[in-house]
Amino acid sequence: AKRMSSGADAIDTVIVSSVADADRPRLDDFEELDFIPFDPAIRRTEARLLGPDGQELRVTKGATKTVLNMCADKNKITDQVLLANETLAKRGFRSLGVAVAKGGATASWQFCGVLSMFDPPRTDTKQTLEKARDMGISVKMITGDQTAIAVETSKAIGLSSRSEPEILDMKEFTAAEKLGVSAATNLCERVDGFAEVYPEHKYRIVELLQHSKRYSPDGHTVGMTGDGVND
């Protein structure tokens, strides 16, 4: 919360603005000792704090499954957490897992809960995609979001000309790559997009499409846009 004055990402802004006014003074009781910003490779962010009782603690938020797998109590709560995560995803809600470790660097992580957020597409996105298709442009989605969220978003924006968009997770892309460049390229051309990707996957998908000779000896002309640093 204290870094809001120096600039914060959209997620931090939403979370802090959701704190009740009566509870906000409590945030000033904690001193930030260290902060690790979001890293797409580990899919979470972490802060090390000093509490009003003099006790050190670490707090993390990030991809729910990633945070859950860090926690000492995961075996007791995995089914419950994953059910909540999947239920939210099928409704198009993004979710973040939150965990805390009290007592210094060697303390075990304990899962605290799941934060849900809704980030609706722009109102003109569907119309923009229709115009792109009319001009012969094939649009694909490549996202780090859960597959269920990607599918729901694809339906909402009319990403595919098909009634049911085909969005695969990166496990299927990785399996295709093991079969060879041709198999991976054909998969990239066939489907509407991929979910649960890392930044390096985005680069690889674009590279495969650029070098595809299926429709043109020069490969596809590929443009890419996004709202993340790695885009």
Query: What pLDDT is attached to residue 176?
Result: 94
Question: What span, in angstroms and rounded, lies between the C-alpha atoms of 13 and 15?
Answer: 6
How does pLDDT run across 163-213, given as a tens digit for each residue?
A: 889 999 999 999 999 999 999 999 999 999 999 888 889 999 999 999 987
Mean pLDDT throughout 92-109?
89
How does pLDDT run across 49-88, given as a tens digit for each residue?
A: 999 988 999 999 998 999 999 999 999 999 999 999 888 8
Question: What span, in angstroms and rounded, lies between the C-alpha atoms of 78 and 212?
Answer: 42
Q: Report angle CA 169, 201, 94 to the nearest 5 degrees.
A: 50
Position 228 confidence tier, pLDDT thresholds 50, 70, 90: low
